[in-house]
Amino acid sequence: MVIAIIGIMAATLARYLTKVADENYRKMVTDAVVTEVSNFYRLINNYNIYVYQNNSEPEKDDIILQRNPVYDLKYEPTLTYGQRVTNYIDDDISESNYQTWTDDKGNYTDRSIYTNKICNFKNTSVDNRFAFNTVDDFLSCNISPIIKNSEFTLERIDLQGNQENRDIYRVDFFLAYHPESSDNKLGFEAYTKHFIESFNQKGLIYDSASIIYRPANTTAINKWQLMRVGDNRGAKIIELGDTISYITKFEKNKNYGIRFSFYTDMKKIKDNELLKADGSVFAEKLCWSEKDQDIGPCISPYNNKLDENNKLLITSGNKNKSDQAPGLCWSKDKSHLVNCLGMKKDEKGDDSLLYLTSVTDNNQEKTGTLVSNIIMHDEENKEYYTPVRAMYLNFKGVSIRQAGYNGDYANENGNIILKQQECPINPIDGKSKLYPRLSASISSFVGFKNKSDKVEGMNLSSQSQTRETENYDNALTGSVILQINQKNDNWYITSTVSESDTNKFDVYANPKSVSIIALTWCSSEPQ
């Protein structure tokens, strides 16, 4: 019995130790992959790099600053430093202009051209290295043997940007997954948490970790495609960590991998050499375009004699300025469902108008919806005010005003009480709030004879049923008076109506024979 228990414990311990060993191994692999990714990404983020002028025993005085070959138009144009892909992150993967990195046997291709001169590669007839040694350590001479012996191959790297000026806006790293067992094609998901930990330790956050695939009968690195679910432009790209939700989409006749994508900030990369003593940068325009740096849109300081408030100017980068006006767009994610505020010129005049638009699921543009507190400005009268809200209201009183009436508007029968509206901050001083305002006008009223001294046989509470009251005899109406008061953050609306049947006049307080339209707004002028 004791021997059996010991056997069970030993088996359990063995399984536990195996699991720990597997986890440690996966973390070791992701650390090695992320180190390779991080080192190359650091190189891309240096527009200029420090190098040793002499390749012998380097001294401090030998250090000079020169343009990174990745961005230097004159440096080795025959090599692939200047190759750029042009696809957006959600577009189909490019089939050309990529950087080949290593094959499934660990042989180098374009990787060697990013290594230092001190590196010595055998079995090569062409010296494809930097012509210098960098001060900072970027890529090692050889890729880590841990990666070589793992289930992953870093096959290719895409530099997305402008081939003419060599700018780079995004870097994509393609990891092919080669499982030890062909039945474990989704085994890369077991590395997910380890990739996250490894990237965190390097201080890197990827913008996308897209699942990619290609036919199982090829190892061609230009055959990778993005894993999508859905149709057309709205198709969702499957990301690392989400495969469990789409497990039925994965097929045995395909091989899979991961594309890690990182955006760069070309403006910031170039401005590293323009830092001023206070750490700020010289002001110049900032433009965005993944395909062409010259096509904006751009944000620049509003350098104008009227520029007293540190304004930023948004301009269109389109070469035909009448075709595409500048605008700002918002989206919860990187999908195509966005809301945009853009400028359009009025065809009948010189005024430019702002349009809020939204894009629907079928990629159609429609008028968008804005939820906000809006304050308008009457320049002639120097008044700030908000839009008006209109309400249809009906008094509830039924009786003649009794003797001794004292006009207690807050407590008398049938009055209308409204909660005073909340107003935004007054733009004049930026501290106090705008004043609440209310105005009222008569919508409908009925003159009737006083048979029972009560308002009977009518109901004006609904605008759609005001003509459906019971029969009543018309009377003479002497007056209808409305009164508005403010008290304790409430509005009080009261009315007085005088009626005559030719024999006598009676006065009613807040009779239900009167309905009104109440208008509320806020203003810099008090009530």
Query: What is 379-410 written as a DSSP string?
Result: TTTTEEEPPPEEEEEE--B-BBPPTT----TT
What is the DSSP-derived secondary structure letter of residue 112? G
pLDDT per residue as tens digits for the range 293-339? 445 677 766 655 555 556 777 776 655 545 556 778 877 765 666 78
Helix (H, G, I), strand (E, B) or coil at 132: coil
The three-state (H, E, C) secondary structure of 229-255, written as one string? ECCHHHCEECECCCHHHHHHHCCCCEE
CB 445 within 8 A of CB 477: yes
More confident residue, 43 or 235: 43
User: Mean pLDDT across the chain, nearest whole number?
Assistant: 80
CB 375 within 8 A of CB 435: no
Q: Which two tokens stand for residue 32?
A: 């090695």
The helix (H) or strand (E) run that includes residue 107 is: none
Any residues with CB less than 8 A from the CB of 68 and at least 6 apart, and which? Answer: 43, 46, 47, 48, 49
pLDDT at residue 329 in the model: 81
> How many CB atoms within 10 Å of residue 473?
11
Q: Which two tokens stand for residue 246?
A: 């789409």
pLDDT at residue 419 in the model: 94
**Can you tell me the distance from the alpha carbon of 101 to that of 84, in angstroms, rounded to the nearest whole number?**
15
pLDDT at residue 215 in the model: 94
Q: What is the CA radius of gyration of the chain?
A: 38
pLDDT at residue 426 in the model: 84
pLDDT at 16 over 60: no
Q: Which two tokens stand for residue 93?
A: 């993967």
pLDDT band of 483, cuts 50, 70, 90:
very high
pLDDT at residue 391 in the model: 93
pLDDT band of 194, cuts 50, 70, 90:
very high
CB 327 within 8 A of CB 338: no
pLDDT band of 349, cuts 50, 70, 90:
low
For the entire predicted model, the pTM comes to 0.53
pLDDT per residue as tens digits for the range 67-118? 999 998 887 666 888 899 989 888 899 999 999 998 766 566 788 889 988 8
User: Using CA atoms in the order 348, 352, 356, 360, what is the torsion angle rounded to 10 degrees?
Assistant: 50
C-alpha distance from residue 303 to each of 219, 296, 526 (Å): 55, 18, 39
pLDDT at residue 393 in the model: 93
* 257 CB-contact burial (10 Å; exposed 0-12 / middle 13-18 / buried 19+): buried
Q: Indicate the residue type of 447.
A: G
How is the beta sheet containing 133-134 ordered, strand by strand? 63-67, 48-52, 133-134
**Can you tell me the distance from the alpha carbon of 83 to that of 167, in angstroms, rounded to the nearest whole number?**
10
Q: Indicate the residue type of 518.
A: A
pLDDT at 416 over 90: yes
Q: Which two tokens stand for residue 147?
A: 């990666």
CB 427 within 8 A of CB 373: no
User: Mean pLDDT over residues 22-51, rounded?
Assistant: 92
**Can you tell me the distance from the alpha carbon of 418 to that of 520, in angstroms, rounded to the nearest whole number?**
10
Nearest to 198 by CA among 150, 242, 238, 158: 150
Peptide bond into 301 cis (omega under 30): no
**Can you tell me the distance from the alpha carbon of 420 to that of 438, in angstroms, rounded to the nearest whole number?**
9
pLDDT at residue 281 in the model: 42
Q: Indicate the residue type of 98.
A: Y
**Can you tell me the distance from the alpha carbon of 437 to that of 383, in angstroms, rounded to the nearest whole number?**
13
Find the length of the chain. Answer: 527
pLDDT at residue 188 in the model: 92
pLDDT at residue 374 in the model: 85
Nearest to 76 by CA among 33, 28, 126: 126
Q: Indicate the residue type of 162.
A: N
User: Mean pLDDT over residues 140-154, rounded?
Assistant: 91
CB 482 within 8 A of CB 495: yes
User: Mean pLDDT over residues 25-46, rounded?
Assistant: 94
Q: Which two tokens stand for residue 498?
A: 């005088």
**Can you tell me the distance from the alpha carbon of 143 to that of 106, in angstroms, rounded to the nearest whole number?**
8
**Can you tell me the distance from the alpha carbon of 407 to that of 294, in angstroms, rounded to the nearest whole number?**
73
408: Cα separation from own chain's centroid: 55
Nearest to 80 by CA among 96, 104, 102: 96
pLDDT band of 279, cuts 50, 70, 90:
very low
User: Mean pLDDT over residues 246-256, rounded?
Assistant: 91
The listed range with the strongest mean pLDDT (53-57, 308-312, 434-438) is 434-438
pLDDT at residue 38 in the model: 94
* 273 CB-contact burial (10 Å; exposed 0-12 / middle 13-18 / buried 19+): exposed
The three-state (H, E, C) secondary structure of 50-76, written as one string? EEECCCCCCCHHHEEEEECCCCCCCCC
User: Using CA atoms in the order 271, 272, 278, 284, what is the torsion angle rounded to 10 degrees?
Assistant: 0
**Can you tell me the distance from the alpha carbon of 481 to that of 497, in angstroms, rounded to the nearest whole number?**
6
The listed range with the strongest mean pLDDT (19-33, 448-462, 496-510) is 19-33
